[in-house]
Amino acid sequence: MKHHAFGRMPFTVTNVGFGAWQIGGSWGDVSEADGRAALNAALDAGMTFIDTADVYGDGRSEKIIADVLKTRGGERPMVATKAGRRLNPHVAEGYTKANLEGFIDRSLANLAVDSLDLVQLHCPPREVLYQPEVFEGLNALQKAGKIKGYGVSVEKVEDGLKAIEYPGVVSIQIIYNIFRQRPDHLFFQEARRRNVAIIARVPLASGLLSGKITRDTHFASDDHRNFNRNGEAFDVGETFAGVPFEVGLQAVEEVRKLVPEGTTMAAFALRWILMSDAVTVVIPGARNAEQARANAAAADLAPLSADVMAATREIYERLIAPHVHQRW
Protein backbone atom coordinates (compact mmCIF):
# COMPACT_ATOMS: atom_id res chain seq x y z
CA MET A 1 0.00 0.00 0.00
CA LYS A 2 1.05 3.57 -0.63
CA HIS A 3 0.86 6.32 1.96
CA HIS A 4 -0.76 9.68 1.29
CA ALA A 5 -0.99 12.91 3.21
CA PHE A 6 -4.58 13.32 4.39
CA GLY A 7 -5.27 16.63 2.71
CA ARG A 8 -4.38 19.56 4.95
CA MET A 9 -4.36 17.50 8.16
CA PRO A 10 -1.16 16.28 9.84
CA PHE A 11 -1.95 12.63 9.14
CA THR A 12 -0.46 10.20 6.65
CA VAL A 13 -2.75 7.31 5.70
CA THR A 14 -2.56 4.19 3.57
CA ASN A 15 -4.42 4.39 0.28
CA VAL A 16 -6.58 1.45 1.36
CA GLY A 17 -8.38 1.81 4.67
CA PHE A 18 -10.91 -0.15 6.68
CA GLY A 19 -14.61 0.60 6.26
CA ALA A 20 -16.28 -0.35 9.54
CA TRP A 21 -19.96 -0.28 8.53
CA GLN A 22 -20.06 -4.05 8.19
CA ILE A 23 -18.78 -4.70 11.71
CA GLY A 24 -21.50 -2.44 13.09
CA GLY A 25 -24.57 -3.85 11.41
CA SER A 26 -26.95 -3.64 8.40
CA TRP A 27 -24.96 -6.27 6.49
CA GLY A 28 -26.67 -9.41 7.71
CA ASP A 29 -24.94 -11.79 10.07
CA VAL A 30 -21.44 -10.47 10.77
CA SER A 31 -20.41 -11.74 14.20
CA GLU A 32 -18.43 -9.58 16.58
CA ALA A 33 -15.63 -12.15 16.49
CA ASP A 34 -15.44 -11.92 12.70
CA GLY A 35 -15.55 -8.14 12.87
CA ARG A 36 -12.67 -8.04 15.33
CA ALA A 37 -10.69 -10.51 13.25
CA ALA A 38 -11.25 -8.41 10.13
CA LEU A 39 -10.07 -5.22 11.84
CA ASN A 40 -7.03 -6.93 13.33
CA ALA A 41 -6.13 -8.37 9.92
CA ALA A 42 -6.43 -4.93 8.33
CA LEU A 43 -4.14 -3.41 10.94
CA ASP A 44 -1.70 -6.32 10.67
CA ALA A 45 -1.56 -5.65 6.92
CA GLY A 46 -0.53 -2.07 7.67
CA MET A 47 -3.74 -0.09 7.15
CA THR A 48 -3.65 3.23 8.97
CA PHE A 49 -7.16 4.58 8.31
CA ILE A 50 -10.47 3.41 9.78
CA ASP A 51 -13.86 4.86 8.86
CA THR A 52 -16.88 4.39 11.10
CA ALA A 53 -20.02 6.24 12.25
CA ASP A 54 -21.95 6.71 15.45
CA VAL A 55 -24.99 4.94 13.98
CA TYR A 56 -23.20 1.80 12.80
CA GLY A 57 -24.76 -0.71 15.14
CA ASP A 58 -25.80 2.19 17.41
CA GLY A 59 -22.17 2.68 18.44
CA ARG A 60 -21.15 -0.98 18.24
CA SER A 61 -18.64 -0.31 15.47
CA GLU A 62 -16.96 2.52 17.38
CA LYS A 63 -16.74 0.44 20.55
CA ILE A 64 -15.22 -2.55 18.73
CA ILE A 65 -12.60 -0.26 17.17
CA ALA A 66 -11.72 1.20 20.58
CA ASP A 67 -11.40 -2.21 22.18
CA VAL A 68 -9.31 -3.68 19.35
CA LEU A 69 -6.91 -0.74 19.45
CA LYS A 70 -6.64 -0.99 23.23
CA THR A 71 -5.93 -4.71 23.00
CA ARG A 72 -3.21 -4.02 20.45
CA GLY A 73 -1.43 -1.78 22.92
CA GLY A 74 -2.60 1.67 21.97
CA GLU A 75 -1.90 1.52 18.23
CA ARG A 76 -3.19 4.75 16.70
CA PRO A 77 -4.30 4.68 13.09
CA MET A 78 -6.39 7.64 11.97
CA VAL A 79 -10.01 6.99 12.94
CA ALA A 80 -12.76 8.94 11.17
CA THR A 81 -16.32 8.84 12.44
CA LYS A 82 -19.55 10.54 11.42
CA ALA A 83 -22.37 12.43 13.10
CA GLY A 84 -25.87 13.58 12.28
CA ARG A 85 -27.79 10.42 11.47
CA ARG A 86 -28.87 9.97 15.08
CA LEU A 87 -31.33 12.79 14.47
CA ASN A 88 -34.93 11.61 14.29
CA PRO A 89 -36.29 13.00 12.10
CA HIS A 90 -33.13 13.55 10.09
CA VAL A 91 -33.74 17.18 9.15
CA ALA A 92 -31.52 20.21 8.62
CA GLU A 93 -32.95 21.98 11.66
CA GLY A 94 -31.40 19.30 13.86
CA TYR A 95 -27.83 20.16 12.87
CA THR A 96 -27.33 22.54 15.78
CA LYS A 97 -24.05 22.98 17.61
CA ALA A 98 -25.63 21.49 20.74
CA ASN A 99 -26.81 18.37 18.93
CA LEU A 100 -23.52 17.88 17.10
CA GLU A 101 -21.58 18.34 20.33
CA GLY A 102 -23.77 15.69 21.96
CA PHE A 103 -23.09 13.25 19.13
CA ILE A 104 -19.37 14.01 19.27
CA ASP A 105 -19.28 13.50 23.04
CA ARG A 106 -20.91 10.10 22.57
CA SER A 107 -18.33 9.12 19.94
CA LEU A 108 -15.51 10.31 22.19
CA ALA A 109 -16.78 7.93 24.86
CA ASN A 110 -17.34 5.05 22.42
CA LEU A 111 -13.87 5.43 20.90
CA ALA A 112 -12.26 6.09 24.30
CA VAL A 113 -10.35 9.16 23.12
CA ASP A 114 -10.10 12.79 24.21
CA SER A 115 -10.30 14.19 20.67
CA LEU A 116 -11.73 12.74 17.45
CA ASP A 117 -9.27 12.61 14.56
CA LEU A 118 -12.01 13.45 12.07
CA VAL A 119 -15.76 13.86 12.33
CA GLN A 120 -17.82 13.91 9.15
CA LEU A 121 -21.35 15.20 8.75
CA HIS A 122 -23.15 12.00 7.76
CA CYS A 123 -24.82 12.69 4.41
CA PRO A 124 -26.73 15.69 5.79
CA PRO A 125 -29.79 17.17 4.09
CA ARG A 126 -28.67 19.55 1.36
CA GLU A 127 -30.00 22.54 3.30
CA VAL A 128 -27.29 22.00 5.92
CA LEU A 129 -24.66 22.93 3.36
CA TYR A 130 -26.29 26.35 3.06
CA GLN A 131 -26.24 27.00 6.81
CA PRO A 132 -22.83 28.52 7.65
CA GLU A 133 -23.70 28.42 11.34
CA VAL A 134 -23.34 24.61 11.22
CA PHE A 135 -19.73 24.95 10.13
CA GLU A 136 -19.11 27.77 12.60
CA GLY A 137 -20.24 25.33 15.29
CA LEU A 138 -17.78 22.72 14.03
CA ASN A 139 -15.03 25.35 14.06
CA ALA A 140 -15.83 26.03 17.71
CA LEU A 141 -15.73 22.32 18.57
CA GLN A 142 -12.38 22.04 16.82
CA LYS A 143 -11.05 25.06 18.71
CA ALA A 144 -12.24 23.43 21.95
CA GLY A 145 -10.17 20.36 21.10
CA LYS A 146 -13.02 17.88 20.78
CA ILE A 147 -12.22 17.26 17.11
CA LYS A 148 -8.97 17.62 15.20
CA GLY A 149 -10.74 18.20 11.90
CA TYR A 150 -14.05 17.85 10.12
CA GLY A 151 -15.38 16.85 6.73
CA VAL A 152 -18.62 15.92 5.02
CA SER A 153 -19.88 12.62 3.67
CA VAL A 154 -22.06 13.41 0.66
CA GLU A 155 -24.43 11.65 -1.70
CA LYS A 156 -24.12 13.97 -4.69
CA VAL A 157 -21.22 15.57 -6.54
CA GLU A 158 -22.88 18.97 -6.25
CA ASP A 159 -23.06 18.60 -2.47
CA GLY A 160 -19.33 17.94 -2.39
CA LEU A 161 -18.64 21.05 -4.44
CA LYS A 162 -20.73 23.14 -2.08
CA ALA A 163 -19.20 21.62 1.07
CA ILE A 164 -15.62 22.42 0.10
CA GLU A 165 -16.49 26.10 -0.22
CA TYR A 166 -16.22 26.14 3.59
CA PRO A 167 -12.51 26.58 4.37
CA GLY A 168 -12.66 24.32 7.43
CA VAL A 169 -13.81 21.27 5.46
CA VAL A 170 -10.72 19.07 5.13
CA SER A 171 -12.28 15.96 3.57
CA ILE A 172 -15.15 14.71 1.46
CA GLN A 173 -16.40 11.16 1.51
CA ILE A 174 -18.18 10.19 -1.71
CA ILE A 175 -19.23 7.09 -3.61
CA TYR A 176 -16.72 6.37 -6.36
CA ASN A 177 -16.35 3.09 -8.21
CA ILE A 178 -16.57 1.55 -11.69
CA PHE A 179 -20.34 2.07 -11.52
CA ARG A 180 -20.16 5.65 -10.18
CA GLN A 181 -17.69 7.63 -12.27
CA ARG A 182 -19.18 11.12 -12.20
CA PRO A 183 -17.01 12.45 -9.33
CA ASP A 184 -14.01 12.21 -11.64
CA HIS A 185 -15.71 14.49 -14.17
CA LEU A 186 -16.80 17.35 -11.96
CA PHE A 187 -15.47 17.13 -8.45
CA PHE A 188 -11.98 15.69 -8.13
CA GLN A 189 -10.21 18.52 -9.94
CA GLU A 190 -11.64 21.12 -7.58
CA ALA A 191 -10.93 18.97 -4.52
CA ARG A 192 -7.30 18.61 -5.60
CA ARG A 193 -7.02 22.36 -6.12
CA ARG A 194 -8.16 22.97 -2.54
CA ASN A 195 -6.07 20.08 -1.11
CA VAL A 196 -9.19 18.35 0.21
CA ALA A 197 -8.80 14.67 1.13
CA ILE A 198 -11.08 12.29 -0.78
CA ILE A 199 -12.44 9.17 0.92
CA ALA A 200 -13.92 6.80 -1.68
CA ARG A 201 -16.75 4.73 -0.24
CA VAL A 202 -18.95 1.89 -1.57
CA PRO A 203 -15.99 0.80 -3.73
CA LEU A 204 -17.50 -2.58 -4.61
CA ALA A 205 -21.06 -1.31 -5.13
CA SER A 206 -22.27 -3.22 -2.06
CA GLY A 207 -20.60 -6.39 -3.28
CA LEU A 208 -21.75 -6.34 -6.90
CA LEU A 209 -18.19 -5.66 -8.04
CA SER A 210 -16.91 -8.61 -6.05
CA GLY A 211 -18.33 -10.72 -8.86
CA LYS A 212 -19.76 -13.16 -6.32
CA ILE A 213 -23.38 -11.97 -6.26
CA THR A 214 -25.90 -13.68 -8.54
CA ARG A 215 -29.64 -13.49 -9.08
CA ASP A 216 -29.97 -16.30 -6.56
CA THR A 217 -27.98 -14.63 -3.79
CA HIS A 218 -30.04 -14.37 -0.61
CA PHE A 219 -29.73 -11.28 1.56
CA ALA A 220 -30.88 -11.45 5.17
CA SER A 221 -33.77 -9.28 6.33
CA ASP A 222 -31.36 -7.03 8.27
CA ASP A 223 -29.04 -6.57 5.27
CA HIS A 224 -29.48 -3.19 3.55
CA ARG A 225 -29.15 -4.97 0.20
CA ASN A 226 -32.54 -6.43 1.06
CA PHE A 227 -34.36 -3.74 3.03
CA ASN A 228 -32.99 -0.72 1.12
CA ARG A 229 -33.04 -2.15 -2.41
CA ASN A 230 -35.32 0.68 -3.52
CA GLY A 231 -34.25 3.33 -1.03
CA GLU A 232 -36.81 2.45 1.63
CA ALA A 233 -34.53 3.29 4.59
CA PHE A 234 -31.94 5.75 3.20
CA ASP A 235 -30.60 7.02 -0.11
CA VAL A 236 -30.79 4.20 -2.64
CA GLY A 237 -27.38 5.23 -3.95
CA GLU A 238 -25.83 3.60 -0.87
CA THR A 239 -27.14 0.18 -1.96
CA PHE A 240 -25.53 -1.30 -5.07
CA ALA A 241 -24.39 2.29 -5.79
CA GLY A 242 -27.93 3.02 -6.96
CA VAL A 243 -27.62 0.66 -9.92
CA PRO A 244 -30.71 -1.48 -10.60
CA PHE A 245 -29.82 -5.01 -9.51
CA GLU A 246 -30.36 -6.73 -12.87
CA VAL A 247 -28.46 -4.01 -14.73
CA GLY A 248 -25.61 -4.33 -12.26
CA LEU A 249 -25.38 -8.08 -12.78
CA GLN A 250 -25.23 -7.59 -16.55
CA ALA A 251 -22.47 -4.98 -16.23
CA VAL A 252 -20.51 -7.19 -13.84
CA GLU A 253 -20.27 -9.89 -16.49
CA GLU A 254 -18.81 -7.33 -18.91
CA VAL A 255 -16.30 -6.13 -16.31
CA ARG A 256 -15.35 -9.72 -15.55
CA LYS A 257 -13.88 -10.06 -19.05
CA LEU A 258 -11.33 -7.34 -18.19
CA VAL A 259 -10.04 -8.90 -14.97
CA PRO A 260 -6.57 -10.44 -15.41
CA GLU A 261 -6.19 -14.13 -14.75
CA GLY A 262 -5.29 -14.77 -11.13
CA THR A 263 -6.86 -11.51 -9.93
CA THR A 264 -10.21 -11.29 -8.17
CA MET A 265 -12.82 -8.89 -9.45
CA ALA A 266 -12.88 -7.19 -6.05
CA ALA A 267 -9.15 -6.50 -6.22
CA PHE A 268 -9.52 -5.27 -9.80
CA ALA A 269 -12.32 -2.89 -8.76
CA LEU A 270 -10.25 -1.48 -5.90
CA ARG A 271 -7.22 -1.03 -8.15
CA TRP A 272 -9.44 0.83 -10.63
CA ILE A 273 -10.30 3.36 -7.92
CA LEU A 274 -6.65 3.81 -6.99
CA MET A 275 -5.86 4.78 -10.57
CA SER A 276 -7.22 8.22 -9.65
CA ASP A 277 -4.58 10.40 -8.03
CA ALA A 278 -7.37 12.43 -6.42
CA VAL A 279 -8.39 9.57 -4.12
CA THR A 280 -6.66 9.76 -0.76
CA VAL A 281 -8.05 6.51 0.63
CA VAL A 282 -10.60 3.91 -0.42
CA ILE A 283 -12.55 2.21 2.38
CA PRO A 284 -13.80 -1.27 1.47
CA GLY A 285 -15.55 -3.15 4.22
CA ALA A 286 -14.63 -6.65 5.31
CA ARG A 287 -16.76 -9.35 6.89
CA ASN A 288 -13.75 -11.42 7.96
CA ALA A 289 -9.96 -11.46 8.13
CA GLU A 290 -9.55 -12.99 4.68
CA GLN A 291 -11.46 -10.15 3.02
CA ALA A 292 -9.47 -7.55 4.94
CA ARG A 293 -6.15 -9.04 3.81
CA ALA A 294 -7.39 -9.22 0.22
CA ASN A 295 -8.42 -5.56 0.32
CA ALA A 296 -4.95 -4.53 1.45
CA ALA A 297 -3.27 -6.64 -1.23
CA ALA A 298 -5.29 -4.99 -4.01
CA ALA A 299 -3.18 -1.86 -3.66
CA ASP A 300 -0.12 -3.79 -4.80
CA LEU A 301 -1.59 -4.88 -8.14
CA ALA A 302 0.01 -3.50 -11.28
CA PRO A 303 -1.58 -0.33 -12.67
CA LEU A 304 -4.42 -0.93 -15.11
CA SER A 305 -3.68 -0.22 -18.76
CA ALA A 306 -5.18 2.66 -20.71
CA ASP A 307 -7.12 0.14 -22.81
CA VAL A 308 -8.64 -1.46 -19.72
CA MET A 309 -9.57 1.92 -18.26
CA ALA A 310 -11.20 2.87 -21.56
CA ALA A 311 -13.13 -0.40 -21.58
CA THR A 312 -14.50 0.20 -18.09
CA ARG A 313 -15.51 3.67 -19.21
CA GLU A 314 -17.40 2.24 -22.19
CA ILE A 315 -19.26 -0.26 -19.99
CA TYR A 316 -20.20 2.55 -17.62
CA GLU A 317 -21.46 4.85 -20.35
CA ARG A 318 -23.42 2.14 -22.16
CA LEU A 319 -25.02 0.27 -19.26
CA ILE A 320 -24.71 2.21 -16.03
CA ALA A 321 -24.69 5.96 -16.72
CA PRO A 322 -28.32 6.13 -17.89
CA HIS A 323 -29.39 4.98 -14.42
CA VAL A 324 -27.01 6.92 -12.15
CA HIS A 325 -25.00 9.65 -13.87
CA GLN A 326 -27.38 12.58 -13.41
CA ARG A 327 -28.74 11.39 -10.07
CA TRP A 328 -25.59 11.59 -7.96
Q: What confidence tier does 26 reach under pLDDT thresholds 50, 70, 90? A: low
Q: Which residues contact 182 (CB under 8 A, 6 or more apart)?
A: 157, 324, 325, 328
Return the minimum-mean-pLDDT range out of 25-29, 169-173, 195-199, 295-299: 25-29
Q: Is the pLDDT of residue 29 over 70?
A: no
Q: What is the pLDDT of residue 208?
A: 96
DSSP run (H or E) holding 119: strand 118-122
Q: What is the pLDDT of residue 22?
A: 86
DSSP for residue 20? -
Q: What is the pLDDT of residue 28?
A: 58
Share the mean pLDDT of the chain: 95
Q: Is the pTM of this model over 0.85?
A: yes
CATH code assigned to 3-324: 3.20.20.100
Q: Which residues contact 65 (CB under 8 A, 6 or more apart)?
A: 20, 39, 50, 52, 79, 111
Q: What is the pLDDT of residue 230?
A: 86
DSSP run (H or E) holding 153: strand 150-153
Q: What value does the mean pLDDT take over residues 114-122?
A: 99
Is the separation of the CB atoms in 64 and 52 below 8 Å? Answer: no
Q: Is the pLDDT of residue 25 over 70?
A: no
Tell me how far apart the alpha carbons of residues 203 and 322 are, in angstroms, rounded to a whole number.
20
Q: pLDDT tens digits, residue range 267-286?
A: 999 999 999 999 999 999 99
Q: What is the pLDDT of residue 75?
A: 82
Q: What value does the mean pLDDT take over residues 133-159?
A: 98
Q: pLDDT tens digits, residue range 46-88?
A: 999 999 999 999 999 999 999 999 999 978 999 999 999 999 9
Q: Is the pLDDT of residue 30 over 90?
A: no
Tell me how far apart the alpha carbons of residues 216 and 70 are, in angstroms, rounded to a whole number.
41
Q: What confidence tier does 23 reach under pLDDT thresholds 50, 70, 90? A: confident
Burial category of 49 from C-beta neighbours within 10 Å (exposed 0-12, middle 13-18, buried 19 and up): buried
Question: How long, in residues, is the chain?
Answer: 328
Q: What value does the mean pLDDT take over residues 231-255?
A: 94
Tell me how far apart the alpha carbons of residues 258 and 312 are, in angstroms, rounded to a whole number.
8
